Amino acid sequence: MSITAQVHDAVSVHKMETLLFFVLIQLTVIVLAARIGTAIARRFGQAAAVGEIIVGILLGPSLFGLLAPDTFNYVFRSAAPEPMQMLSQIGLVLLMFQIGLEFDFAHLTERRNRKAVLWVSVASLALPFALGLGVGYAAAPVLSPGVDVTASALFVATAFSITALPILGRIMMEFGMTRSQIGVIAISAAAINDVVGWLLLALVTMLTVSRFDGPGFAAKCGMVLAFLLFCWFVVRPLLKHLMRRFDVARNGLSHNLLGIVLAVVFLASMTTFQLGIFAIFGGFMMGVILHDESAFVEAWKERIGPFVVVFFLPIFFTYTGLRTNIGSLDSMAAWGWCALILALATIGKFGGAYVSARAVGLNRHEASILGIMMNTRALMELIIINVGYDLGVISQQMFTMLVIMAIVSTVVTSPCLRSWLPRIGMPVAGR
C-alpha cells in the first residue's frame, strides 16, 4: 500500500471517529434529558411522553440554542446530521410497528355504546378536518409561501383530525378509566380516529407525491391496496405460521424469530417507501397484522419495547425539536396565527366530541370529558407534521405552530380530567 493510500485511510478513520464522537455526545444528552423530562412530567401528573416531547423541543433552537448557542452548535451542529436523522427514522419505523402491535380492534366492535362511539368518532374527525382545511388554505400563502396550497391545507386538516390513541390509553390507565362507560366510548372513538387518520395521511401523502395527477394518484392507490392485500392474505398467514412454529408462549421471543420479524418490518418499510407513502406505514402495517398474537406482543413489549421508548423515541422528539424554532414566531401576526390554529384545533376536537356526545344522550360533564380526551394529540400529531415538513408542504413557522398545538392539547388533558372526573362520580387519586 502506498503512503498516499495509508494517509487517506488514516484521514477516513479519523473522520469516522470524529463523527462517532459527536453522535455519542448527542445520544448521551438526548437519553439523559429524556429521563429527566419523564421524571418531571410524572411529578406534575403528566404522561411520560409529555415530558419527553417538551424536553425534545427544549433541546432545539427554541431554548438550548437560544441560551447557549456555542454549546448547542458544538453538540448538534459539529457533525453531519444524517446519522441522527437515520436513527430517528429507524426508531420511528420500530415505534410505528409497536403502535400497530398495541392496536386493539376489539374497541371497534364494542356493542355497548356503539351509537355514541360512531357519532363521537365521526364528529371529532369531520369538524376538525373542515376547520383545519379552512385555516390551512387561508394560512398557506402567508405562513408557507411557495408551497402547493391544497397539499398544505390537507396536511393541516389531517393534523387537526388525529387523536393520540397510545398516549390517551396510557392516561386512561393512570386514571382507572379503561373499563368505565366514558372510557370505552373515548378509546373506541380514538381507535376509529387513528385508523381513519392514518388512511388520510397515506392518501394525502400519495396525492402530494403524485402532484395531484389523477392517473398517477389512482396508480399509487392501486399499488398500496395491492400491498395491503398482500400483507393481509400472504404475509400475515406466514408470520402466524412462524409464531406457531417458534411457540412464543412456551419458548419466549427467540433471537431467530426476532431477526425474521425485524427483517419483515424493514422490507415492508422499504416497500411503502417505494410506493411513495413513507417507510413508517410499512412498520405500522406489520404491527397491525400481528396485533392479535398476544404472546409475541407481550414478549416484544417486555424485551424490545422499553429500548424503543427509552432510546429511539427521545431521538425522534429531539429531531422534531431541532426543526422547531419558537423564535421563528417573531411577530404579533405570527403568534396570532398560532393562537388561531390552537383555538380552531381545540374547538374542532372538543366541540365535535361534545356536541355529538350530547346528541346521543350523555350529560354535559360526560360530554366535556370526551371532548378533553379526544383533543389529545401528542406523538401522532408530531409524526404527521414531520411527514408534511419532509414533503416541503408546510414551512418551519407552520411546523412550529402545529408542534405547539400538539404539546398544549396533550398537556391540558390530565389536569382537565382531574377537574372533571369527580363531577361524574369517578374519584381521582390525590384529590
End-to-end CA distance of the chain: give it in Å, rounded. Answer: 75
- The CA angle 258-259-261, to the nearest 5 degrees, is 65
Across 23-160, where does the E strand assignment appear? none
> For position 196, what pLDDT does the model report?
81
Q: Which residue has the cell 417507510?
A: 279
> For position 110, what pLDDT does the model report?
59
pTM over 0.85: no
Q: Collapsing DSSP states into helix, strand and coil, what is residue 9?
A: helix
Helix (H) or strand (E) holding 275: helix 255-275
> For position 2, what pLDDT does the model report?
62
In single-letter form, the type of residue at position 48 comes to A
Query: Cα–chain-centroid distance for residue 414?
Result: 19
In tens digits, the chain (431 residues) has pLDDT values of 566 655 555 556 668 888 999 999 999 999 999 999 999 988 887 877 788 889 998 999 988 998 999 999 999 988 888 888 899 889 889 988 988 887 666 655 656 567 888 899 999 999 999 999 999 999 999 998 888 899 899 999 999 998 877 778 778 777 877 667 788 788 788 878 877 887 888 888 888 877 767 777 777 778 888 998 999 999 999 999 999 999 888 888 899 999 999 999 999 999 988 887 778 888 888 998 998 898 999 999 899 989 998 999 899 889 888 888 888 888 899 999 999 999 999 999 999 999 999 998 888 998 999 999 999 887 778 888 988 898 889 999 999 999 999 999 989 998 898 888 888 887 775 54
- Helix segments in 144-231, DSSP class H: 149-161, 165-174, 181-209, 214-230
Closest CA to 156 of 140, 167, 170, 169: 140
Cβ neighbours of residue 58 closer than 8 Å, sequence gap 6 or more: 33, 64, 321
Phi, psi of 15 (to 5 degrees): -65, -40
- Number of Cα atoms under 13 Å in the Cβ half of residue 77: 14
Q: Which residue has the cell 416484544?
A: 300
